[in-house]
Amino acid sequence: MKEITVSKVKPFFINSNIHLKEFSYKTVEDILTPLGGNTGNSYITYGLMKAVLGGICDIPHIQNIYTYDFSKSDKDIEIINNECTHVFFILQDQIRLFESYSLTLPYTNIINFLKRLNKKVIVAGLGANCFSGFDKEFYKKLNPELVEFLRKLSEFCELIGLRGEFTQEVMSKLGISNTEVIGCPSYFENGRDRIVHKKPFGELNIMQSSKNFTRSINNYHTVLQDFNERDIIARLTLEDFTAPLQRKDEEKLCEDKFHVFADIESWKNFVSQFDFVFGYRLHGSILALNSGAVALCCNHDSRATEMCNFLKIPHYTQLDDKKTIQEYYEMADVDALNRAYPALFDNYKQFLNKNNIELFEDNPQPYEYIKQPVVPLFSHKQQ
């Protein structure tokens, strides 16, 4: 293993998707666009910052690579080359036929930016997403521009951290071999000793990690995350009643059972009140586990399936009215999760070490920590 020579990490994050400073907002877009359209994206940077800095710091970053003005990149490149020790490039499941929210990475601009850097780029948590399952021919269907981007990106990286084995198979078929499966940095934010405890089913506090479209299990507290839920988020954050809601959502809103968070600590503090969290959100499930709750991820796409398989996150792909909440709860095998976790954490640590990064706990340094800005919510509870 390569010897680590850096005593103190001074990182730059590209596409951090995290709010670090107070910001003004008049629309849902003002809140979510800097987060890449999904609050779960913040959790990746949050996890990496806790791992290498010990907490959240006001570090230099490009918040959203999709909206970044590359014509003004000279200053950021100078900071990276002259002031920073490492550069992280945060990517999610961009290896797919169509990106979320009709976006497309600015491939050429990114590569031209990276060419001007004097240090390797660290990518931790890149994933493929195939909505038809683990399609062996998936790599052949990808946009040629995306394929070329991935190949060039790999040249700037010592080792690319991937979300799961399917992604590694896709990358290998594209001729990219400097990869390692690590899962997601968010999963390891609590360190090596994390253990999830499971209570006997009974008087449990239960919540949903996503909106669900089933009759009998739609009445629990729910955390919203992205643009697809903008109408409810507009009510919560802006008291914007422009768009009508479905009756069941209106009723749930009036009971103050919808929630959204722009900062991770508030989100975790809220979820820590619950014993069981279920729903489609992968990062909602990971955050629940790290907050002390049992979680069951019910997303069926390859992105969620491969990461749940690798990290041993309890996973079930069909959320419907045929099973009771107790049956869903009993599906969540935290014993397997707890047994696998230490070795998975060590694998993640070794990945960082190979990228010339020490964990904060192995080499603590003084940093000035901050609190992320909090977006207050309006109560709609009927008195």
**Tokens encoding 222:** 């729910």
pTM, to two decimals: 0.95
Say yes or no to pLDDT of 156 above 60: yes
Which has more pLDDT, 215 or 181?
181
Residue whose C-alpha is closest to residue 278's, from 252, 300, 297: 297
Closest CA to 370 of 13, 20, 18: 20
Q: What is the model's pLDDT at position 215? A: 56
> 5: pLDDT confidence band, cut at 50, 70 and 90?
very low
Specify whether the CB–CB gap between 186 and 46 falls below 8 A. yes
pLDDT at 6 over 70: no
Per residue in 273-305, pLDDT (tens digit) is 999 999 999 999 999 999 999 999 998 899 999
According to DSSP, residue 253 is labeled: H
For 184-202, the pLDDT digits (tens) are 999 999 999 999 999 999 8
Distance of alpha carbon 163 from alpha carbon 181, whole angstroms: 6
Confidence of residue 101 (pLDDT cuts 50, 70, 90): confident
Pairing state between β 86-89 and 121-122: parallel
Residue 317: the pLDDT is: 86
Report the b/e string of 51-74 with b at 16+ CB within 10 A: bbbbebeebbbbbbbeebeeeebe
What does the alpha-carbon distance between residue 165 and residue 249 come to, in Å, rounded to a whole number? 37
- The CA distance from 358 to 363, in Å, is 7
Q: Residue 2 has what pLDDT?
A: 44
pLDDT tens sequence across 15-40? 999 999 999 999 999 999 999 999 99
Query: Is residue 184 within 8 Å of residue 45, measured between CB atoms?
Result: no
Judged against a pLDDT cut of 60, whether residue 383 lies above it is answered with no
Name the percent of the chain lying above pLDDT 90: 88
State the pLDDT at residue 3: 46
DSSP state of 88: E
What pLDDT, on a 0 to 100 scale, did the predictor assign at position 76?
A: 98
Residues 133-148, mean pLDDT to the nearest whole number: 97
pLDDT band at 320 (very low <50, low <70, confident <90, very high): confident
Residue 219, pLDDT score: 81
| pLDDT higher than threshold 70 for residue 373 | yes
**pLDDT value at position 314?**
97
Give pLDDT tens digits for 45-89.
Answer: 999 999 999 999 999 999 999 999 999 999 999 999 999 999 999
pLDDT at 21: 97
The sign one gets for the Cα dihedral 281, 286, 292, 294 is positive
| Calpha distance 331→340 (Å, rounded) | 17
**Average pLDDT over all residues of the chain:** 94
206 DSSP β-pair partners: 276
